[in-house]
Structure 1
Amino acid sequence: MKYKVFVAGSGGIGEAAALLLREWCEFETEIFLGDVSEENLAKAKNFILQNSQKTSVVETILMSKDGTNEAMKSAFESCACLLDCSPGTQAPRMARFACDFKMHYANLTEYVAETDEVIALAKDAETGFVLQTGLAPGFINVLAMSLYRKFVEQFENETIEKVGMKVGALTAHAHQPHFYGFTWSPIGVATEYVKPSRVVRDYEIRQIPALSDRETIIIGGRTYEADLTSGGAADLPDYFRHKAK
């Protein structure tokens, strides 16, 4: 079985996702890389071809910054799925492409307002929409729900004191001025720190400033700081409203 996948955005995350799809999928894939930069496309395609043992097709599509062009339309019409690795502000635009061309859609973004817009678009979609599928939001939310369901099953009680999700990655080589290992968009990182956080307090959803609830945690005998950021909880605040204090 063969599927054609359009990967929108050929930066570090996009090229890595495309490589994983080509190399590790249980089915054969044809990858269409889309980006507004020819330089990024050439770099990403070269990265995939050099690091993959597979011989399946990898095509590049130069995307328009606004609207569509003939190359985009042709690729969209042939693809089953659009994996959105573009900047978070582009999520509603990419989701509309998926709706218009009847592709399944998945994204990685932590942007809250844009995610709400995509959810509204997806209500009338004929295909599947899987949002916020990265690490946080994404895997951490699946893990939290798994633990919560085990709690409910064991104690037969859906009301809980607290759900806390902490995600972080510490690089071995941190440099001034940020002391942060950027493996994805610095703009996305900044967004998590400056936009409001959606949290549950006293069983209701609140919006409070990011970085406004700092706490100290100790892991393996080392002391770290943790704080609130925007977007990492995905839609769990909606689910845990009236369930978590």
Structure 2
Amino acid sequence: MKIGIIGAGKVGATIATLLESCRFCRAVVLGDARSDVEVSGLKKARTVTLNVKEAAELAALVKKCDAVVSAAPYFLNKTIAQACAERGVSYFDLTEDVHTTNFVRALAKDAKATFMPQCGLAPGAINIVGGDLASSLDNVRQCEMRVGALPLFASNQMKYYLSWSTAGLINEYCQLGEALHGGKRITTLPLDGVERLTVDGVEYEAFNTSGGVATMCETFEGKVGELNYKTMRYPGHRDLMRFMLQDLNLADRQELLTQIFDQEVPLTDHDVVVFYVSVVGTVKGRLVQRSFVKKMRGAVVQRRTLSAIQLTTAAGVVAILELFAGGKLGAGFVKQESVPLKAFLATKWGGRVYGA
């Protein structure tokens, strides 16, 4: 299978790195606006200079691939998905943006190809785990999903350094989210619903952000009492973000805030991903709690040093590509929670990163 990856930044290049060792993948083409993308050591990968906004350039890449993964900024995904739909090529992305997902879903109606947005970490793997645990109970009172992509250490007031897309980070802090309350779908306010939790003796705060719940509210409406997703940070981060986004009204100037973050907030490769899912419900009339909790670090793969957020995000989508290559995904729009956890963990990179 030949796989196209659009966007050769940290995550896009990591996807290509993981695909290097996958038998189902025979070739990778990385499309990026930059002409100096470095892929040395990756025998399956080659690069092409690509302007996504140039329809002819995008079409030329898409039509040569069996599947396309968008690792580009979320605001380019609609254009990429449209190009795939017009040529009957299967499409995958990493977006947390709800509007983009709804657009992809409309494109996928009656399609013979597979359209599966929201692959990756959260949304992505978190929904596969959450959906599987919730489905394992007869009746579910509560399903909590929490993910934190965090620096191992930080000395600034935000207690945070950048480790992934700044535009995506700001977007999920600004957009409305979704949850189930009393079994019914509700809208959640960003940066609201603050709580504290402790994992391995470290205290975190968690608060509402958009996108991480993916399509689970639709799937489990009327079946789960309380279902929600929250982002984890070190205590104090949320208050500073609320000051900037709401008190200073920068939520209406996301591009400006993104520029400020990119200029003044350091990037780090020394990070950790904290992954937490807890469900409570009944099995044969008995109240039980089941959980899936991991702390995941970076690793060296194909002689490339990968951060925790790079590895966990790329592993999520590469696992999905392996299932796609094996004919285990259907046509049209595919939800993350439709993937059995056992199948996900049986894949090469799903098992290696998220398994025991």
Pairwise TM-score range, normalised by the shorter structure: 0.7 to 0.9
Question: Secondary structure of 1:170's partner?
Answer: strand
Identify which of 50, 55, 60 aligns with 1:68.
55
Aligned to 1:103: 89
Higher fraction of strand: 2
Number of residue pairs the alignment of both structures matches:
225
Aligned to 2:102: 116
For structure 1, list consecutive stretches of 5 or more residues without a partner in the other structure.
none
Aligned to 2:160: 180
Cα pair distance change 1:220/1:97, threshold 3 Å:
same
- Tell me by how many angstroms 1:37 deviates: 2.6
Are 1:197 and 2:197 counterparts?
no
For structure 2, list consecutive stretches of 5 or more residues without a partner in the other structure.
226-356
Q: Structure 2 counterpart of 1:131, which letter?
A: P
The runs of at least 4 aligned residues of structure 1 exceeding 4 Å deviation read: none
Q: CA RMSD in A?
A: 1.7
Q: Deviations over 1:212-231 (max 9, x none)?
A: 10001122223211111100
What fraction of aligned residue pairs are identical, expressed as a percent? 29
Cα pair distance change 1:219/1:122, threshold 3 Å:
same
Question: Secondary structure of 1:161's partner?
Answer: strand
- Tell me by how many angstroms 1:73 deviates: 3.1
Identify which of 118, 125, 142 aligns with 2:111.
125
1:1-245 correspondence runs (5 A) = 3-21=1-19, 23-38=20-35, 42-43=36-37, 46=38, 48-50=39-41, 52=42, 55-56=43-44, 58-69=45-56, 71-152=57-138, 157=139, 160-174=140-154, 176=156, 178-245=158-225
Contact 1:99-1:126 at 8 Å conserved across structures: no
Contact 1:91-1:115 at 8 Å conserved across structures: no
Q: Deviations over 1:60-92 (max 9, x none)?
A: 2222342423x4433322210101101111121
The 10-residue stretch of structure 1 (83-92 or 215-224) with the greater mean CA deviation from structure 2 = 215-224
Q: Deviations over 1:147-175 (max 9, x none)?
A: 112113xxxx4xx2211101113322425
Contact 1:106-1:129 at 8 Å conserved across structures: yes
What's the TM-score, normalizing by structure 2? 0.60
Q: Deviations over 1:103-140 (max 9, x none)?
A: 11111110001111110111132201122111100001
Contact 2:149-2:163 at 8 Å conserved across structures: no
Q: Distance in 2 between matches of 1:149 and 1:241?
A: 13
Cα pair distance change 1:78/1:132, threshold 3 Å:
same
Q: Distance in 2 between matches of 1:90 and 1:73?
A: 14
Question: Secondary structure of 1:138's partner?
Answer: helix
Could you say which structure has the greater relative contact order, defined with CA pairs below 8 angstroms and 6 or more residues apart? 2
